[in-house]
């Protein structure tokens, strides 16, 4: 029988693989990623204002208001009443009472809205007013409202509340810059009374700010001419999102004097009013002649802010900062600590608030000037997000906020320079690493 001869298997010759080829690939990839991140961080960092601010007058001088107003496109007006509201126990009842009494309009813009007990109360109050024929407009951030259930949104809409996501009225619309958010917290009722501060609609803000699982918060109720500025801030994002212009006395009624405070409300955001929050903060620091009291949940100053705070110490200004001993972000706390060394060395005093998570966002200068609202003392608020703050010049009204600051300081533990420098090596390393990402915080 004939048989085909067996074919010999020939070995394929392969080029010898370079042992370090894979390693070089990953190193190159990491370097490129790091460069891309560095470019992104630079691009999103506050950099329009690049020179330190100097001012020859204090915040009580007429020249200060005459300068700050035009610079942030929000003139100061007299006749305002500014009342502090502390924690959920005071903030939410005041807001809900105003909504339930609304006769002409309710406008609300918020960052976080999470389903739960306090959410149900807002839904019920707004739905009742909408069914009664009162226009109720709600603007929420897409990222901040991830925990706001669809059925709760449907409850609002079915009652006649117009609920939309900032920058994306319909689900099929795409918001190109997901890193840009509205961080504003604004409630205006009938165009007559406004509320702002750091509060969001979530159960973590309930209570008296005295437990580790809740937020210690300060908000303000505003009455008087400045309320029209608050409403205009909401109207700007409402127009950008829906294409609708809010007009008429339902939103902008005549406003008479309701108090004695000189006040303004400014908006800040990358697409409309670049770095106005940063300008307001730095100008106020430059005006300080006696004291600067800072209460901030996320205190991550950039180089210029640090330079100006050190300069304030050099001219004899007392600078005190209350920060969280605990909050919702260990990463953020570490990034914040990475900036404290030069400030402590210059004599800035730091106090870590102990009883609860600390979410306040306020700065007091010379016990006569106050700025409070949604703005954090960090790059995200100064350059990336949409923000709103109210500024007040009035020693009587500001005195109440000084008392709040002193109460928080009394419940805090002071951090000394020696204690700061004695941190373990691994803590210092972690702080340094987290500080590299400070432009995104």
Active-site residue set:
183, 185, 190, 359, 361, 366
Is the predicted pLDDT of residue 369 greater than 70, yes or no? yes
Is the predicted pLDDT of residue 250 greater than 80, yes or no? yes
Is the predicted pLDDT of residue 432 greater than 90, yes or no? no
170-204 residue pLDDT tens:
555 555 566 788 999 999 999 999 999 999 999 99
Is the predicted pLDDT of residue 388 greater than 80, yes or no? yes
CA 390 to CA 370: how far, in whole Å? 8
pLDDT category at 216 given cuts 50, 70, 90 is: very high
pTM for this entry = 0.88
Is the predicted pLDDT of residue 114 greater than 80, yes or no? yes
Domain coordinates in residue numbering, the chain:
62-440
CATH number of 62-440: 3.30.870.10
The lowest-confidence range among 43-52, 286-295, 402-411, 421-430 is 43-52
Mean of pLDDT over the chain: 89
Per-residue pLDDT, averaged over 105-110, amounts to 98
- Token readout for 106 is 């309710």
Q: What is the pLDDT of residue 39?
A: 60
**321: closest CA among 334, 303, 306?**
306
């Amino acid at each position: 029988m004939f048989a085909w001869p067996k074919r010999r298997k020939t070995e394929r010759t392969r080029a010898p693989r370079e042992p370090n080829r894979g390693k070089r690939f990953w190193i190159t990839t990491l370097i490129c990623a790091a460069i891309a991140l560095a470019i992104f961080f630079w691009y999103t960092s506050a950099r329009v204002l690049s020179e330190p601010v100097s001012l020859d007058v204090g915040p009580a001088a007429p020249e200060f208001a005459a300068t700050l107003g035009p610079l942030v496109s929000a003139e100061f007006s007299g006749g305002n009443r500014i009342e502090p509201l502390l924690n959920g126990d005071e903030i939410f009842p005041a807001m809900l009472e105003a909504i339930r009494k609304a006769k002409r309009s309710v406008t609300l813009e918020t960052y976080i809205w999470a389903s739960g007990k306090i959410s149900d109360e807002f839904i019920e109050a707004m739905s009742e007013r909408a069914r009664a024929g009162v226009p109720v407009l709600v603007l929420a951030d897409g990222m901040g409202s991830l925990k706001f259930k669809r059925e709760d949104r449907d409850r609002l809409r079915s009652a006649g509340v117009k609920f939309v996501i900032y920058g994306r009225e319909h689900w099929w619309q795409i918001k190109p810059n997901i890193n840009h958010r509205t961080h504003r917290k604004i409630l205006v009722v009938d165009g007559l009374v406004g509320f702002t501060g750091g509060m969001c609609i979530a159960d973590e803000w309930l209570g008296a700010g005295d437990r580790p699982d809740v937020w210690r918060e300060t908000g303000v109720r505003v009455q008087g001419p400045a309320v029209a500025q608050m409403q205009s801030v909401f109207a700007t994002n409402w127009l950008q999102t829906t294409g609708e212009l809010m007009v008429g006395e339902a939103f902008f009624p005549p406003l008479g004097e309701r108090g004695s405070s000189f006040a303004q409300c400014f908006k800040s955001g990358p697409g409309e009013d670049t770095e106005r929050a940063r300008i307001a903060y730095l100008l106020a620091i430059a005006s300080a002649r006696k004291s600067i009291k800072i209460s901030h949940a996320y205190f991550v100053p950039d180089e210029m802010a640090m330079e100006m705070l050190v300069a304030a110490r050099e001219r004899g200004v007392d600078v005190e900062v209350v920060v969280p001993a605990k909050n919702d972000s260990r990463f953020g706390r570490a990034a914040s600590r990475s900036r404290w060394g030069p400030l402590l060395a210059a004599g800035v005093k730091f106090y870590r608030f102990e009883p609860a998570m600390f979410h306040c966002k306020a700065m007091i200068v010379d016990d006569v000037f106050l700025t409070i609202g949604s703005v954090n003392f960090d790059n995200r608020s100064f350059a990336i997000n949409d923000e709103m703050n109210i500024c007040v010049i009035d020693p009587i009204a500001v005195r109440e906020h000084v008392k709040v600051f002193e109460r928080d300081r009394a419940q805090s533990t002071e951090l000394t320079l020696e204690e700061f420098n004695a941190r373990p090596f691994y803590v210092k390393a972690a702080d340094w690493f987290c500080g590299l990402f400070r432009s995104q915080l």
